[in-house]
Amino acid sequence: MDIVYIRELEIETIIGIYDWEREQKQTVSLDLEMGTDIALAASSEDIENTLDYKAVAKRLIEFVKGSEFFLVETMAEKIAQIVLLEFSVPWLKLRLGKPGAVTGSKDVGVIIERTAK
């Protein structure tokens, strides 16, 4: 299986459990690895035959900007479902980080792997 990836996609959103987090947008950062087969795209040079990472990024930006979650875990699960279902991806690995959430730490968050059911 080949992998199409997106690294360090930063999006502003409402995320967190504290009162101040519910009033002020914060940055979340996404790394996404999506399983696919690039052979047909490579031989045809046709965007219709590949997993369009720009379309995936645009969809996730739209979703995350319009969402409000308490936990990064919930956001990660929702993002995974969007990618698996809307883009027919059989497998993905997602890192969802919340930079600056812990004093002294560059980033905290979750890493999940999911497969299509």
pLDDT in tens, 26-43: 999 999 999 999 999 999
Q: Of 54, 98, 106, 117, which is the active-site residue?
A: 98
> CA–CA separation, 79 vs 96, rounded Å?
9
Q: What pLDDT score was predicted for residue 117?
A: 83
> CA–CA separation, 2 vs 59, rounded Å?
21
Look at the chain and report how many structural domains it folds into. 1
pLDDT in tens, 7-22: 999 999 999 999 999 9
Active site residue 117: no
Q: What pLDDT score was predicted for residue 100?
A: 85
Question: With a cut of 50, which residues of the chain have pLDDT below it?
Answer: none
Q: Which domain holds residue 87?
A: 2-115
Compute CA distances 64 → 12, 39, 67, 85, whole Å. 8, 31, 5, 17
Q: What is the CATH number of the domain that holds 89?
A: 3.30.1130.10
